[in-house]
């Protein structure tokens, strides 16, 4: 592979072949994977020499089947897992140099299982980090109502407990909680994966609308090509711990890479089968 970038690093020295957005050359990289590897304690590799950049304001989707290493790649950013090789730069600084707690509060995190605190009301769930950060009470309350509105939740939800919510509402609360302290970066691990198709498509659409307003830097994990095409500024395809391709929507659909083709074809077949005309 390409090895580590030459140091010291000032003007963008990312290794050749690293996946970067091609639209504008002055894009500001917020997350940079540099030759990142991760292996399990028994030395089984999960992720190998990943080079990838996520620029300010874009949604990069990590696409791949289960076991492809996409969730691992995500967790390396907020250091729920520590990379065993290479480094990840967050806003130009190596993730290891960040204070762990500061880093995590700088990076919102939403997961499929949501993981709401069952003993807290929705309001306390959402405002936990601002409260820990000692925001003044009025500011927390203002932020709370802002977030409820932003995520399409009624104010009456605030006093409920997670078990009193529907799956879609829970996921909205999860997103609101991830956004609570207004982190510039958002990590999302199949946040809409466990929802019914209608609710999922509602939330996907709303999330796009939200992103138009907020312009967060988003790294989004999914195994669903439809979701990837809908949300992703760019799509990074992972297979067995390796980055296979990283393309914009159009490039992805037009790519000649065999694995990408397989994905696109499987997707096209499922579309054809689901429309009445598609059945012979």
Which residues lie near another protein (CB under 8 A)? 78, 80, 101-105, 109, 111, 113-119, 128-129, 132, 161-163, 170, 174, 177-178, 187
Q: How far is the CB of 239 from another protein (least distance, A)?
A: 25
Q: Nearer to another protein by C-beta: 51 or 222?
A: 222
Q: How far is the CB of 203 from another protein (least distance, A)?
A: 18
Contacts of residue 2, Cβ cutoff 8 Å, sequence gap at least 6:
15, 16, 17, 18, 35, 49, 51
Q: How far is the CB of 258 from another protein (least distance, A)?
A: 35
Q: Nearer to another protein by C-beta: 40 or 132?
A: 132
Contacts of residue 123, Cβ cutoff 8 Å, sequence gap at least 6:
144, 158, 159
Q: How far apart are CA 177 and CA 220, in angstroms?
A: 16
Contacts of residue 47, Cβ cutoff 8 Å, sequence gap at least 6:
36, 37, 38, 39, 69, 72, 73, 76, 241
Q: How far is the CB of 138 from another protein (least distance, A)?
A: 22
Q: Nearer to another protein by C-beta: 113 or 265?
A: 113
Q: How far is the CB of 213 from another protein (least distance, A)?
A: 22
Q: How far is the CB of 189 from another protein (least distance, A)?
A: 9
Q: How far apart are CA 38 and CA 79, in angstroms?
A: 12
């Amino acid at each position: 592979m390409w090895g580590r970038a030459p140091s010291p690093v000032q003007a963008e020295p990312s290794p050749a072949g690293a996946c970067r957005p091609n639209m504008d050359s002055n894009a500001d990289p917020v997350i940079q994977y540099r030759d990142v590897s991760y292996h399990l304690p028994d030395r089984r590799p999960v992720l190998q020499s990943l080079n990838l950049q996520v620029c300010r304001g874009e949604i990069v989707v990590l696409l791949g089947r289960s076991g492809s290493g996409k969730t691992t790649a995500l967790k390396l950013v907020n250091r729920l897992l520590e990379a065993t090789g290479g480094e990840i730069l967050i806003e130009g600084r190596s993730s290891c140099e960040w204070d762990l707690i500061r880093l995590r509060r700088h990076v919102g995190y939403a997961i499929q299982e949501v993981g709401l605190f069952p003993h807290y009301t929705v309001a306390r769930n959402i405002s936990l980090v601002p409260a820990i950060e000692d925001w003044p009470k009025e500011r927390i309350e203002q932020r709370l109502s802002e977030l409820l509105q932003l995520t399409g939740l009624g104010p009456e939800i605030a006093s409920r407990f997670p078990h009193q919510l529907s799956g879609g509402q829970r996921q909205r609360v999860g997103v609101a909680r991830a956004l609570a302290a207004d982190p510039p970066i958002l990590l999302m691990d199949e946040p809409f994966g466990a929802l019914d198709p209608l609710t999922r498509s509602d939330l996907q659409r709303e999330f796009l609308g939200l992103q138009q307003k907020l312009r967060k830097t988003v790294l989004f994990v999914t195994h669903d090509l439809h979701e990837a095409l809908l949300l992703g500024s760019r799509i990074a395809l992972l297979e067995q711990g390796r980055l296979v391709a990283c393309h914009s929507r159009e490039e992805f659909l037009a790519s000649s890479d065999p694995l990408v083709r397989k994905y696109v074809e499987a997707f096209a077949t499922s579309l054809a089968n689901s429309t009445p005309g598609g059945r012979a």
